[in-house]
Structure formats: structure tokens, C-alpha cells
């Protein structure tokens, strides 16, 4: 397998998952300083010019959440998702969709407000509003972890089992670190991030992307 990456970008979640699986894979740098994500070669892999892309044999896959699901499906031995057809699996789908099409999408607005308007003042206002909306999403995710802790059902997002949701949420929480109230200031998210940051696979992924602690 080959993972096209740029340090700290959306590749982080699939990268951590590949490290958890423990099979060999190749990391291929997409140099954003040179706009390589918009090169004709890269656009053949992902016409939207976004990072990451996973190449698995003949399969070329973009969209981070889809890559994470594919890795869980093709490596059942790694136990990265509950069994098909179970309520736990349905909850995993629900939260993965929430994370990718709500929180991740809002974070893109936060990081690139200038793409949504033509002047700096409006961009500043859009960024500030996005930060507020991200805050209300973090409140919801914090609530899940609080409930897990009260019911003593485990330290991972859906309880006892480490799943693809955990690296996904870790990555998104890392992206909030420049905010007034980053994820690490929410008590349950703070414990969760601390716990995940000690996993050897997580540490390896950061090391290979050249990112030093603090990770979030």
C-alpha cells in the first residue's frame, strides 16, 4: 500500500491506522509548498487535489473516512471496527460521518476562510464563526466521552474497543490546537487525547511525518 501524505494533513488518521495494522506500507510526500497536490499526476489519483490518497494494489482511494473504513474492512484481524450489522457498527458509521462531514468540514472553513469570500475582514468573521461552531461540536464529542466515563464503558470513543474513530478524532482535535478553547481544554477529551497519544502506533505516525510532541 502507498499513502500520499503531507505532514499533519488528513493523512494522519489513515497513517495511524496503517501503523496499528502493522503491515509494510510506503509513505509518499505530496509537497504542498510546490502545489504538488494540483499536479497532473496527483490529479489522476484524486481529481479534487486533496490529500490523502491511498493506493492499495489496483485500488486508488481518496476521502479520508473512506480510506479508514477500507483499511478496517480489509484488515479484520486488526479489529478496528465492530462487526457488520451490529448496533455498534451503526454507531461507528454515525460518528465517522459526523466527524468527517460536520467537524472536519467546519475545520476546513476555519483554516481556509479566504476561499469563501473576497476580503480580509469577512474572512476574519467567517473564521471566528467557524471556531464557535467547532466549539459546539467539541461539546457534543466531550459529552460522549463523559457518558462513557460515567458508565465506565472504556476509554475509547465507542467504549472498550479501539476503532478507526479514535485516530480520526485525534487528528481533528489536533487541528483545534490554535483555537481559544482547543480540544485539550475539555476535561474528557483531554484524558482521551492523553491516553491515545501514548499508543506506539500514534507516536510512530507522528515521528514518520516529522512532527514533534506536543501533538495536540
Chain positions 96 to 125 lying near ligand GSH, rule: CB under 6 A, are 100, 108
Using alpha carbons only, give the angle 170, 33, 44 rounded to the nearest 5 degrees. 80
Question: Would you say 62 or 157 has its CB closer to ligand GSH?
Answer: 62
Binding of residue 176 to ligand GSH (CB under 6 A) = no
Question: Would you say 148 or 163 has its CB closer to ligand GSH?
Answer: 163
Chain positions 25 to 44 lying near ligand GSH, rule: CB under 6 A, are 37
Beta carbon of residue 101, minimum distance to ligand GSH (angstroms, whole number): 8
Specify whether the CB–CB gap between 106 and 134 falls below 8 A: yes
Question: Would you say 114 or 199 has its CB closer to ligand GSH?
Answer: 114
Beta carbon of residue 5, minimum distance to ligand GSH (angstroms, whole number): 10
Report the Cα 12 to chain-centroid distance in Å: 6
Size, binding site for ligand GSH by CB under 6 A? 11
Q: Which of 1, 3, 10, 202 binds ligand GSH (CB under 6 A)?
A: 10
Q: Which of 7, 28, 36, 50 binds ligand GSH (CB under 6 A)?
A: 50
Q: Residue 194 phi/psi, 5° resolution? A: -65, -45
Specify whether the CB–CB gap between 181 and 137 falls below 8 A: no
| CA-closest candidate to residue 171, choices 64, 66, 42, 89 | 64
Cβ-closest position to ligand GSH: 64
Specify whether the CB–CB gap between 5 and 51 falls below 8 A: yes
Chain positions 55 to 94 lying near ligand GSH, rule: CB under 6 A, are 62-64
CA distance 54 to 32: 17
**What are the residues facing 62 on neighbouring strands?**
53
CA distance 159 to 151: 10
Contacts with ligand GSH, residue ranges (CB under 6 A): 9-10, 37, 49-51, 62-64, 100, 108
Amino acid at each position: 500500500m502507498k499513502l500520499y501524505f503531507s505532514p499533519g494533513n488528513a493523512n494522519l488518521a489513515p497513517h495511524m491506522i496503517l501503523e496499528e495494522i502493522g503491515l509494510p506500507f510506503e509513505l509518499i510526500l505530496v509537497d504542498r509548498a510546490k502545489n504538488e497536490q494540483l499536479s497532473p499526476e496527483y490529479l489522476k489519483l484524486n481529481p479534487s487535489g486533496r490529500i490523502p490518497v491511498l493506493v492499495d494494489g489496483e485500488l486508488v482511494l481518496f476521502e479520508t473516512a473512506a480510506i479508514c473504513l477500507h483499511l478496517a474492512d480489509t484488515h479484520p484481524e486488526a479489529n478496528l471496527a465492530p462487526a457488520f450489522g451490529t448496533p455498534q457498527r451503526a454507531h461507528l458509521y454515525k460518528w465517522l460521518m459526523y466527524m468527517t462531514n460536520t467537524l472536519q468540514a467546519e475545520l476546513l472553513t476555519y483554516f481556509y476562510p479566504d476561499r469563501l469570500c473576497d476580503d480580509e475582514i469577512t474572512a476574519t468573521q467567517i473564521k471566528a464563526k467557524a471556531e464557535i461552531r467547532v466549539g459546539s461540536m467539541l461539546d457534543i464529542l466531550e459529552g460522549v466521552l463523559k457518558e462513557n466515563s460515567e458508565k465506565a464503558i472504556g476509554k475509547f470513543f465507542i467504549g472498550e474497543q479501539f476503532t478507526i474513530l479514535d485516530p480520526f478524532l485525534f487528528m481533528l482535535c489536533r487541528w483545534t490546537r490554535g483555537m481559544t478553547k482547543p480540544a485539550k481544554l475539555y476535561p474528557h477529551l483531554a484524558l482521551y487525547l492523553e491516553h491515545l497519544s501514548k499508543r506506539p502506533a500514534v507516536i510512530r505516525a507522528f515521528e514518520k511525518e516529522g512532527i514533534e510532541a506536543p501533538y495536540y
